[in-house]
Structures are given as structure tokens and as C-alpha cells.
């Protein structure tokens, strides 16, 4: 029997996602954002989610839509303020969603650390700022650092360009961003991918995420382009 | 407390002039991160005697200018989420590697805007203390880049000094600023205060001191 991580539909790939789960969502703004997986979660109705992402969604599409459906209780991100953000500000200003602000590099490093079995690390980022409050300090070579802890998740929702049935992934340009490290840091990585090739068709030298970090794949050949969707007034559901 | 009538202010350098001064100070073959907004102007003033490599923290090294309308690719964006291009010799990487370039001290210069800069080089540029807090990569950049250049107006729109004895806004980093490029002067952070490297030709040192809440030295 052959290994095959490709799932037949959205219901199957999302079958294990549970209420109260912590989910990492790849993407930087819209580039690399797994919009179809997020819409699948709206259809499934999963609630009380903690979302780890760089941003907090635009318009009422993808992450913006999931937040708008009140399925998210907390967002951990670096930048929750965007020109096209609608749903997060609405809930935040009413005190109906929690926010943990993490500097972008610390967010990336906390995620990588979790994926690499490193429970915490010291960094200069944030020293002397409000985001250092309550964190352990340590001096190395005369310079002050703060302790940051690894950030794990139950699931990673990821968008990739090309995959094979083993879960080897490649990405497209700056749509790579947080996706590879989120695959490493989550117990289960669910990946939507534009193209699925035969295992011998991806050059091993070109694989960005080796299949060991990926549990499930779904083929989404023509994903929604967020900018266009928002311009066209799309809302989901 | 310094509070100047904004109608009495002397007009300083325009933003293009400030950008060209910064561009002149970036050495050949530097790796540079330009902050979103006014600092992006700097790339327009790099002279042909040097090549600069631009880093965008969302995983792009070797960033090029904005694309033509028909070349826009929404998977190729900068840290401000605007479409950009990649130049020959450029590369993509994931976010942890991109921030290792910053946090590991590999970025030679970053140029950022400011709300306040203290006489000891503290920078406040991410939060007014109101609204949704959002920091992005600013704290990583100021903590990790080898040189932190600030590009700013000398005074706020209300005529309050941005160069201050002590920042009143939440800090982005403590003791991180190397040099300030304002419309009135180029200044280094030193133990003796804000040290004038270049003074706008239309103002005096006394005037500069009168609009700065912190010691000016030469």
C-alpha cells in the first residue's frame, strides 16, 4: 500500500478539527493565505478557536470571514490593523475577541522553535518595550535579552503551490512566508495546494517543506484571490 | 515644555532631499531594509556608483521596484503588502529565515519613521497607545539591524518636538537609533546628546536647540 496524504474533499481533510483548537494560519496578508480551508471551517462551524497568524484578516473573506462568524475567541498575531480589515476591529472594539500582539520575528521564531523541539529562547527583540513586561530577562555578554516561549498549535492551515502525495511542498514567491514553519510547529498540517504532481516530478533539490511535516493535502486548483474577491464585494458564507 | 506656533516654523528640507541624504550614506553592497512609507523614497536616490540589496521582511531579498500594471503578481508583495518585483540575484525564503537576516545582525541598515526619538536613542514608532496595537516587524528591525536610521520630520504636526529627553509613547526599542535624518538636521545619538552631523542651511544651531527637547551638541 502506498502513502497518500491527498484527501478527497473538504469534509475529509477537516474531519479532525475540533472546537477550542489552536490553529496556525499561513500567509502574509493575502499571499499564501489558505482561504478555501478557512471557508471549509466556516461550513463546518468549528468554534472557540485560537488563531495564530501574522494578520487578522481582510474584508469578509478567508480569515476575515471566519472571525466575522464569531468562530474565533483569540488571535495571536503581529499586525491586527490593516486597511481592509473589517471583522476583527468590529469585535475587538466591542471587547468580544482577545488579541496577543507578538513582534513579527519573535512570532516566526516562536513557531520555528516549537517545530524544532526548542521550548524557549532569548531574544533582544522587544527589550525595554511594553511587550517585554512579565518576561524573564537575562544578560549575555553585557546585553539584555528576554525569554520567549515556543508557540505550538493543534493544526496548521497552509497554502502551497505544488505537492506530491508524500506531502512534499513548494511555494510561490512571497506566498511562502509563515507556511513552512507552521507545517513544522503544528501537530497536524492541512495543506491546500494548486498543483499535485507525481513524486518524481518535484526535484528533491527544490522541495521547501519535506513531507514529514505535512499530514493532509487537498487540491484547490483555482483558489480565491482575496484582493479581487473583496473588490467584487464577496462575503463568505 | 517646548510648544512652537507652527505658523512660525522655518521650512526645512523636503522629504526627497532627506531621502537623498540617506541614500548617499548607504555604502556600496549594503543589505538594507526600508520601512513602509516615507523611507521607501530612499531607493529612488541611490547613485549609480553603488549597488544596494533591499530586504523585505516577508521573505524577499533583492526586492525591485513596483511592477507595471500588467505584471502585478499578488504572490509577490513587500512588507507593506504592495506588489513589487524581484531583481536578478534575488531570492525567497520563509519568515523565520527572513527574520534571522534581521535578528542575526545581517541587515546592515534599516530606515524607519518615528513618532519620538530620545536623546539616548530610544525609539517610539509603533503605537500611540490608542486603537488596536499592531507592531509588525519594527521591534525586530531596531533590535537586530546593524545601523538604525530614522527618517522623520523634526516636529509633529502640532509643533511638538519629536526629538525628546525621554519618550512618552510606548517604545519600539531602547537605545537602538544610530542616526536621525530630519528636515532640519542630520544627527547622531551620542553620550553628549544629539550631535549635529549636518545642519539645514536655513537654520542656526540655536534654532535647532529651540525645537529639540534634549541637548544638541556639535
Tens of pLDDT, residue by residue over B173-189, are 999 999 999 999 999 99
> Would residue A53 count as lying in a domain?
yes
Contact B136 A78 (CB under 8 A): yes
CA angle A19, A22, A23 (to 5 degrees): 105
Q: What pLDDT sits at residue B3? A: 63
Choose among A79, A108, A174: nearest Cβ to B134: A79
In a domain, B163, yes or no: yes
**Residue A177's CATH number:** 3.40.1080.10
Question: Between vectors from CA B56 to CA B50 and to CA B62, what angle results, nearest 5°?
Answer: 40
State how many domains chain A has: 1
Distances B65 to A42, A159, A228, B43 between C-alpha atoms, Å: 38, 26, 22, 9
Question: Is B45 contained in some domain?
Answer: yes
A157 touches chain B (CB under 8 A): no
- Of B76, B95, B96, which is closest to A173 when you measure between CB atoms? B76
Q: How many Å lie between the alpha carbon of A123 and the closest alpha carbon of chain B?
A: 8
Mean pLDDT over B29-58 rounds to: 97
Q: Work out whether strand B60-64 and strand B85-92 pair parallel, antiparallel, or are unpaired.
A: antiparallel
In angstroms, rounded to a whole number, what is the distance separating the alpha carbons of residues A21 and B191?
Answer: 51
Residue-wise pLDDT tens digits, A84-94:
999 999 999 99
Stretch B121-144: mean pLDDT: 96
Radius of gyration of chain B (CA): 18
pLDDT in tens, B62-97: 999 999 999 999 999 999 999 999 999 999 999 999
Question: What pLDDT sits at residue B8?
Answer: 79
Q: Is B166 helix (H, G, I), strand (E, B) or coil?
A: coil
Q: What is the CATH number of the domain that holds B198?
A: 3.40.1080.10
Which pLDDT band holds residue B168 (cuts at 50, 70, 90)?
A: very high
Partner A contacted by B140 (CB < 8 A): yes
Kindly give the residue spans of alpha helices, DSSP state H, lying in B154-195. Answer: none
What 3-state class would DSSP assign to B193? Answer: strand
CA neighbours within 13 Å on the CB side: how many for B142? Answer: 30
Which residues are CB-neighbours of B136 under 8 A, at least 6 positions away?
A78, A79, A103, A104, B79, B126
**B181 domain-assigned:** yes
Q: Which residues of A29-64 are buried (b: 16+ CB within 10 A; e: fewer)?
A: bbbbbbbbbbbbbbeeebeebbbbbbbbbbbbbbbb
Is A87 within 8 Å of chain B by CB? no
Task: Please count the other Cβ atoms lying within 10 Å of the Cβ belonging to residue A144.
Answer: 15
Q: Do B132 and A176 touch (CB under 8 A)?
A: no
Q: Is residue A143 part of a domain?
A: no
pTM: 0.97
Residue B1 has pLDDT above 60, yes or no: no
Tell whether B12 is covered by a domain.
yes
- Let me know if residue A231 belongs to a domain: no
Q: Is residue B91 part of a domain?
A: yes
Residue B1 domain flag = no
**β-pair partners for B217:** B195
Q: What is the pLDDT of residue B211?
A: 96
Would an 8 Å CB–CB cutoff place A162 in contact with chain B?
no
Chain A residues whose beta carbon lies within 8 Å of the beta carbon of residue B139: 103, 105-106, 125-126, 129, 131
Provide the percentage of residues in chain A whose pLDDT is more than 90.
99
Would you say residue B97 lies in a domain? yes
Q: Which domain holds residue B123?
A: 6-217
Number of domains in chain B: 1
Indicate the angle between helix axes A104-115 and B95-103, nearest 10 degrees: 120
Would you say residue A3 lies in a domain?
no
Q: Do A173 and B86 touch (CB under 8 A)?
A: yes
A46 CB near a chain B CB, below 8 Å?
no
> CB-side exposure of B173: number of CA atoms within 13 Å?
24
Taking 70 as the threshold, does the pLDDT of residue B120 lie above it? Answer: yes
Residue A54 counted as domain residue: yes
Q: How far apart are CA A230 and CA A228, in angstroms?
A: 5
Distances (CA, A) of A57 to A8, A115, B31: 27, 24, 31
Confidence (pLDDT) at B7: 76
Using pLDDT thresholds of 50, 70 and 90, give the confidence band for residue A82: confident
Residue B60 covered by a domain: yes
Q: For residue A213, how far is the Cα from the chain centroid?
A: 14
Domain carrying residue A39: 10-114+152-219
pLDDT of residue A190: 98
DSSP structural state of residue B165: S
Candidate from B74, B99, B139 with C-beta closest to A108:
B99
**Per-residue pLDDT averaged across A167-189, rounded?**
98
pLDDT tens per residue across span A30-50 = 999 999 999 999 999 999 999
| pLDDT tens sequence across A2-39 | 999 999 999 999 999 999 999 999 999 999 999 999 99
Tell me the C-alpha distance between A195 and A102, whole Å: 33
d(CA B133, CA A101): 7
Amino acid at each position: 500500500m502506498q502513502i497518500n496524504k491527498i484527501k478527497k474533499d473538504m469534509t475529509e481533510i477537516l474531519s479532525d478539527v475540533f472546537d477550542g483548537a489552536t490553529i496556525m494560519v499561513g500567509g502574509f496578508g493575502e499571499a499564501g493565505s489558505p482561504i478555501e480551508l478557512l471557508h471549509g471551517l466556516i461550513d463546518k462551524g468549528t468554534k472557540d478557536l485560537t488563531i495564530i497568524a501574522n494578520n487578522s484578516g481582510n474584508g469578509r473573506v478567508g480569515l476575515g470571514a471566519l472571525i466575522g462568524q464569531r468562530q474565533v475567541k483569540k488571535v495571536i498575531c503581529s499586525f491586527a490593523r490593516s486597511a481592509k480589515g473589517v471583522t476583527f476591529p468590529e469585535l475587538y472594539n466591542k471587547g468580544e475577541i482577545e488579541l496577543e500582539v507578538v513582534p513579527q520575528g519573535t512570532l516566526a521564531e516562536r513557531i520555528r522553535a516549537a517545530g524544532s523541539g526548542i521550548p524557549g529562547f532569548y531574544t533582544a527583540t522587544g527589550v525595554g518595550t511594553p511587550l517585554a513586561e512579565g518576561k524573564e530577562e537575562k544578560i549575555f555578554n553585557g546585553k539584555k535579552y528576554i525569554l520567549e516561549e515556543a508557540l505550538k498549535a493543534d493544526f496548521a492551515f497552509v497554502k502551497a503551490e505544488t505537492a506530491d502525495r508524500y506531502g512534499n511542498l513548494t511555494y510561490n514567491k512571497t506566498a511562502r512566508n509563515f507556511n513552512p514553519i507552521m507545517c513544522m510547529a503544528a501537530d497536524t498540517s492541512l495543506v491546500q495546494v494548486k498543483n499535485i504532481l507525481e513524486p518524481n516530478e518535484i526535484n528533491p533539490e527544490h522541495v521547501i517543506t519535506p513531507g514529514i511535516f505535512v499530514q493532509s493535502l487537498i487540491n484547490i486548483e483555482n483558489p480565491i484571490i482575496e484582493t479581487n474577491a473583496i473588490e467584487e464585494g464577496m462575503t463568505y458564507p | 515644555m517646548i510648544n512652537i506656533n507652527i505658523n512660525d516654523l522655518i521650512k526645512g528640507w523636503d522629504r526627497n532631499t532627506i531621502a537623498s541624504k540617506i541614500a548617499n550614506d548607504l555604502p556600496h553592497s549594503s543589505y538594507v531594509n526600508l520601512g513602509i512609507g516615507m523611507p521607501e523614497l530612499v531607493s529612488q536616490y541611490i547613485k549609480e556608483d553603488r549597488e544596494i540589496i533591499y530586504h523585505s521582511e516577508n521573505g524577499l531579498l533583492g526586492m525591485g521596484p513596483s511592477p507595471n500594471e500588467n505584471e502585478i503578481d499578488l504572490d509577490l508583495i513587500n512588507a507593506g503588502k504592495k506588489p513589487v518585483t524581484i531583481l536578478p540575484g534575488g531570492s525567497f525564503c520563509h519568515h523565520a529565515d527572513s527574520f534571522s537576516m534581521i535578528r542575526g545582525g545581517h541587515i546592515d541598515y534599516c530606515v524607519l519613521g518615528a513618532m519620538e526619538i530620545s536623546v539616548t536613542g530610544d525609539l517610539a514608532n509603533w503605537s500611540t497607545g490608542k486603537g488596536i496595537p499592531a507592531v509588525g516587524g519594527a521591534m525586530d528591525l531596531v533590535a537586530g539591524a546593524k545601523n538604525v536610521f530614522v527618517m522623520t520630520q523634526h516636529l509633529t504636526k502640532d509643533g511638538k518636538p519629536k526629538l525628546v529627553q525621554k519618550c512618552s509613547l510606548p517604545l519600539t526599542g531602547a537605545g537602538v537609533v544610530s542616526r536621525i535624518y530630519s528636515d532640519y538636521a542630520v544627527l547622531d545619538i551620542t553620550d553628549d546628546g544629539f550631535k549635529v552631523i549636518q545642519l539645514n542651511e536655513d537654520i542656526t544651531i540655536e534654532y535647532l536647540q529651540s525645537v529639540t527637547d534634549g541637548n544638541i551638541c556639535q
